[in-house]
Structure 1
Amino acid sequence: MAEIELPSPIVAKFGGTSVADFEAMNRSAAIVLSNPDVRLVVLSASAGVTNLLVTLAEGKEPEHRAFHLDEIRRIQYAILDGLNDVPVIREEIDRMLDNIAMLSEAAGLATSHALTDELVSHGELMSTLLFVEVLRQHQVEAQWFDIRKVMRTNDHFGHAEPEITTLKELTHHLLLPRLNEALVITQGFIGSEAKGRTTTLGRGGSDYTAALLGEALNAKRIDIWTDVPGIYTTDPRVVPNAKRIDEISFEEAAEMATFGAKILHPATLLPAVRSDIPVFVGSSKDSLAGGTLVCNKTTNPPLFRAIALRRRQTLLTLHSLNMLQARGFLAEVFNILARHAISVDLITTSEVSVALTMDTTGSTSTSASLLTTSLLTELSSLCRVEVEENLALIALIGNKLSQACGVGKDVFGVLDSFNIRLICYGASSHNLCLLVPGADAEQVVKTLHGNLFG
């Protein structure tokens, strides 16, 4: 059959809460069916399943394994029970649950990153099987597709990088023809390496999958459906009257994500930025509530766009008189950090000291956990080291901040009563960063939001 080029489709991605149970899956199915331009749907695992699988991969004792397996079975069976009689799907889910049990038993003997990825991948495989059946019971021709056939990656298990050229070729050869025939449902977060072993893409992996597929298919838009209706001026759980941002640029959204906003991960945006594909963020719980469109450029971008908060930060201060009118001290510090695979997040310097925080973006580590004994020992041979924990990073996201007048008054004029441990301003025109005691973080955010956003 000759391959027919589709007009630019919409790729829709649904997160874990959007496929958490039978009711949530039906809401998501209604969103898909409301727009005929949606031809490809990317799913996360049902909410809670990935965490349970990760725990199983840690090699728990048999009684703990049984508990977590039962919990996974309960979540998936609750969806199965909402469907009409589907013995074939129930059989397939049972087979996957047996696989999970077998792999978790193997993890109890000797765990590995490759085994973890194989185990964790079952969350997405099960949710997509169930969602296909939900759509079929809405009288829709839907097909299940194993994303590992096209999502080729390296073998960095746990944080694999896709091979973009191969992905595009395989997508056009294996996936595009299916989009002409039916609505296709596939998995986010997972892929496969050269030997066919399952890999995972790391944090934000399902969003990243949707964006990569959108780029490969030249999609007209990528829709990210989650549990909140868009991106807000700050976390509504901290500031209940935070305002939704109807339109935001890729640069602003990436800055927000980098500095702690959970709604999108920076890597998610890269394929969309490369191909200038807009990304819509909306709530599957209320699809009519609107959302946020992330695009290349916005009209009249404001000076202040949003406030992001990243908790559990650690400040490392290095003191040495050898810095005074000397060369090479900072180079040696950064050499040591590089040897320990530490990426610096924020940094300020004086004549005899350097203060910095570690960048944990895209990692499951905290900055505190990166400060190993061997790292501190090596740094101590060069200078005096002070470590301060339980801090919070507050980032003001905006446009042309380093070129604007009056920014200091708008920001610092209302923070007289707070202890600010570090300020980074001027290196980027899109952010101004403050490090404050963790206990003060929420009040600082509330104070700034009230002053800047009314």
Structure 2
Amino acid sequence: MIVSKFGGTSVGTFQAMQKSAEIVSEDVDRSFIVISATSGTTNDLVALMSPELDSTAREAIIIRIKERHLSIIQKLGSPEKAEISFKEELTQLRQHLDQVARDKRWKDRLVSFGELMSTKIFIEVLKESGVDAEWIDAREILKTDSTFGNATPDRGMLKKNLQKRIETGKVYLTQGFIGSDVFGNTTTLGRGGSDFSAALFAEAINADLLEIWTDVAGIYSTDPRVVKAARPIKEITFDEAAELSVFGGKVLHPATLKPAIRGKIDVRVSSTSEPEKPGTLIVHESTEKPVVRALSLRKNQTLLTVRSLDMLHQYGFLAKLFQVLSDNKISVDLVSTSEVSVSLTLDTAVNASNKVELTIEVLEELREFCEVEIEKDYCLIALIGNSLTKTAGISGKLFNKLKDYNIRMVCHGASENNICFLANESDGESIVKLLHKEFIEL
């Protein structure tokens, strides 16, 4: 059994939906299909919740959502059922807009309309392609806690629910990203949650393979927009893929890999526009293990340095520091320490998306027990590969190439799958081009 997840661009137009439906129909083992919202819809739904929007701007967004979906529906051979379902969802969306301001639970309900609308249309496209699929409301099977916006799934309950629901030989279609708590309130798994949902479903039904269909033909050795010579990776291990996703690879959400690793399920990343290409297969053991497999570049990094003589031969300072950051939900990536100082990197973009930041209040709390320095406009570059801690000369070769650049922070040794460092953001792309040529374009 194969679980196939199609992203927003893969269902963003009628032609894209047709192509995705054709892919489903080509393999009888593709029996559990997970769909994202059509491309742009989730962003529009989030924008609708902005308190700064007036009624005119809000209506303009609703019209855009309506036109996007109707342009697909109207191309169906028999559009009546999909049009009725869509209009029902649109009516509910308008009704829920007023409730969002009063109760945060309704924010997840509002955002869920994207996946609900896309699957109700895609089920009709599947039928017209000869695939008789059963539509499942993911909220009935994927139960979570009540952490709205970033809910934690109940894996045991999901497995039980699917065991009761799934029959061999049938095709099922459901939504990614959404679930519900024990009270029936709609919840969401956070951005990138559709991939995570698909992996959870694959684990729950003991799938043979998880497919992630997107707009790129697999995982590349680095961002092709930065390095034209970037090459597709045919096979990569879960350890390497996990490092790559954490350090800036945007093809897979980091949480996606955990259920696949637990369930020992291989993952294939492919492009709906080029399904004939092999894409990238993520496996537990790769037949080839190059020292450097890929390079990642993550911009918008902040360097936070704290200093205090209280660190000198004392205990408890780091615990106190990280408690302040934890209490304020500030995510930390790299850490480097000396006798009297600690340097930390913060992903500015991630923390901003989680609506947390180094506010004046946080800084004042830190300054009660240490000096604080903040530096912005850095990038984080990582070499991803195998046995990097055991390969003689790799560090010397790397830093010899970086001799003309100002490198602020290096992390090496904690993982044999990566070496990462902080550089000026303005130098980031030049460094990646240089290192790609040195380590990958052999």
Q: Structure 2 length normalisation: TM-score? A: 0.96
SS at match of 2:407: coil
1:57–1:111 Cα contact (<8 Å) kept = no
Residue 360 and residue 208 in structure 1: after superposition, are their counterparts in 2 closer, same or farther (change >3 A)?
Answer: farther
Deviations 1:74-121 (A, max 9, x none): 1101101111232222111111111112222333xx254311110011
Aligned equivalent of 2:385, options 388, 393, 398:
398
Deviations 1:410-453 (A, max 9, x none): 21111111111111111111111111111111111111111111
- Give the aligned partner of residue 323 of structure 2: 335
Length, aligned pairs only: 440
Letter in 1 for 2:431: V
For structure 1, which segment, 110-119 or 216-225, has the greater mean C-alpha deviation from structure 2 after superposition? 110-119
- Give the aligned partner of residue 90 of structure 1: 83
- Give the aligned partner of residue 40 of structure 2: 48
Q: Distance in 2 between matches of 1:368 and 1:46?
A: 24
Does 2:74 correspond to 1:81?
yes
Q: Distance in 1 between matches of 2:288 and 2:235?
A: 11
1:347–1:355 Cα contact (<8 Å) kept = yes
- Give the aligned partner of residue 3 of structure 1: none
| Alpha-carbon shift at residue 195 of structure 1 (Å) | 0.6
Q: What is the 5 A alignment of 1:80-119?
A: 80-107=73-100, 110-119=101-110
Residue 360 and residue 41 in structure 1: after superposition, are their counterparts in 2 closer, same or farther (change >3 A)?
Answer: farther
- Give the aligned partner of residue 399 of structure 2: 412
Q: Distance in 2 between matches of 1:18 and 1:336?
A: 42
SS at match of 1:191: strand
- Give the aligned partner of residue 187 of structure 1: 175
Q: Distance in 2 between matches of 1:428 and 1:202?
A: 27
Letter in 2 for 1:257: S
- Give the aligned partner of residue 34 of structure 1: 26
Letter in 2 for 1:246: K
- Give the aligned partner of residue 292 of structure 1: 280
Q: Distance in 2 between matches of 1:371 and 1:76?
A: 40
Residue 236 and residue 111 in structure 1: after superposition, are their counterparts in 2 closer, same or farther (change >3 A)?
Answer: farther
- Give the aligned partner of residue 263 of structure 2: 275
Q: What is the 5 A alignment of 1:39-188?
A: 39-59=31-51, 60-107=53-100, 110-174=101-165, 176-177=166-167, 179-180=168-169, 182-188=170-176
1:18–1:28 Cα contact (<8 Å) kept = yes
SS at match of 2:379: strand
Which runs of 4 or more aligned residues in structure 1 lie more than 4 Å from their structure 2 counterparts after TM superposition? 366-369
Q: Distance in 2 between matches of 1:95 and 1:337?
A: 44
1:314–1:367 Cα contact (<8 Å) kept = no
For structure 1, which segment, 15-24 or 424-433, has the greater mean C-alpha deviation from structure 2 after superposition? 424-433
Q: What is the 5 A alignment of 1:351-390?
A: 351-358=339-346, 363=350, 365=352, 369-390=356-377
Q: What is the 5 A alignment of 1:311-322?
A: 311-322=299-310
1:357–1:367 Cα contact (<8 Å) kept = no
Residue 392 and residue 368 in structure 1: after superposition, are their counterparts in 2 closer, same or farther (change >3 A)?
Answer: farther
Residue 67 and residue 140 in structure 1: after superposition, are their counterparts in 2 closer, same or farther (change >3 A)?
Answer: same
Q: Distance in 1 between matches of 2:70 and 2:383?
A: 45
Residue 91 and residue 300 in structure 1: after superposition, are their counterparts in 2 closer, same or farther (change >3 A)?
Answer: closer
Aligned equivalent of 1:16, options 8, 11, 14:
8
- Give the aligned partner of residue 411 of structure 2: 424
SS at match of 2:216: coil
Deviations 1:125-176 (A, max 9, x none): 11111111111112321221111111011110100111010000001102x1
- Give the aligned partner of residue 6 of structure 1: none
| Alpha-carbon shift at residue 367 of structure 1 (Å) | 9.6
| Alpha-carbon shift at residue 378 of structure 1 (Å) | 1.3
Letter in 1 for 2:14: F
| Alpha-carbon shift at residue 346 of structure 1 (Å) | 0.6
Aligned equivalent of 2:17, options 25, 38, 52:
25
2:221–2:295 Cα contact (<8 Å) kept = yes
State the identity %.
Answer: 45
For structure 1, which segment, 69-78 or 301-310, has the greater mean C-alpha deviation from structure 2 after superposition? 301-310
| Alpha-carbon shift at residue 351 of structure 1 (Å) | 2.3
Q: Distance in 2 between matches of 1:18 and 1:364?
A: 28
| Alpha-carbon shift at residue 281 of structure 1 (Å) | 0.2
SS at match of 2:293: strand
Q: Distance in 2 between matches of 1:253 and 1:296?
A: 10
2:302–2:347 Cα contact (<8 Å) kept = no
2:234–2:281 Cα contact (<8 Å) kept = yes
1:44–1:124 Cα contact (<8 Å) kept = yes
2:247–2:382 Cα contact (<8 Å) kept = yes
1:302–1:399 Cα contact (<8 Å) kept = yes
SS at match of 1:82: coil
Deviations 1:218-259 (A, max 9, x none): 111001000000011111111111111111111110100011
Q: Structure 1 length normalisation: TM-score? A: 0.93
Letter in 1 for 2:399: F
- Give the aligned partner of residue 236 of structure 1: 224
Residue 117 and residue 364 in structure 1: after superposition, are their counterparts in 2 closer, same or farther (change >3 A)?
Answer: farther
Residue 131 and residue 366 in structure 1: after superposition, are their counterparts in 2 closer, same or farther (change >3 A)?
Answer: closer
- Give the aligned partner of residue 252 of structure 1: 240
| Alpha-carbon shift at residue 368 of structure 1 (Å) | 10
Letter in 2 for 1:254: A
Deviations 1:318-374 (A, max 9, x none): 12233334333323222322332334311112222211113679x563699521212
For structure 1, which segment, 69-78 or 87-96, has the greater mean C-alpha deviation from structure 2 after superposition? 87-96
2:330–2:351 Cα contact (<8 Å) kept = no
1:16–1:45 Cα contact (<8 Å) kept = yes
Q: Distance in 2 between matches of 1:127 and 1:260?
A: 28
For structure 1, which segment, 281-290 or 94-103, has the greater mean C-alpha deviation from structure 2 after superposition? 94-103
Residue 403 and residue 319 in structure 1: after superposition, are their counterparts in 2 closer, same or farther (change >3 A)?
Answer: same
- Give the aligned partner of residue 453 of structure 1: 440
Aligned equivalent of 1:435, options 405, 422, 425:
422
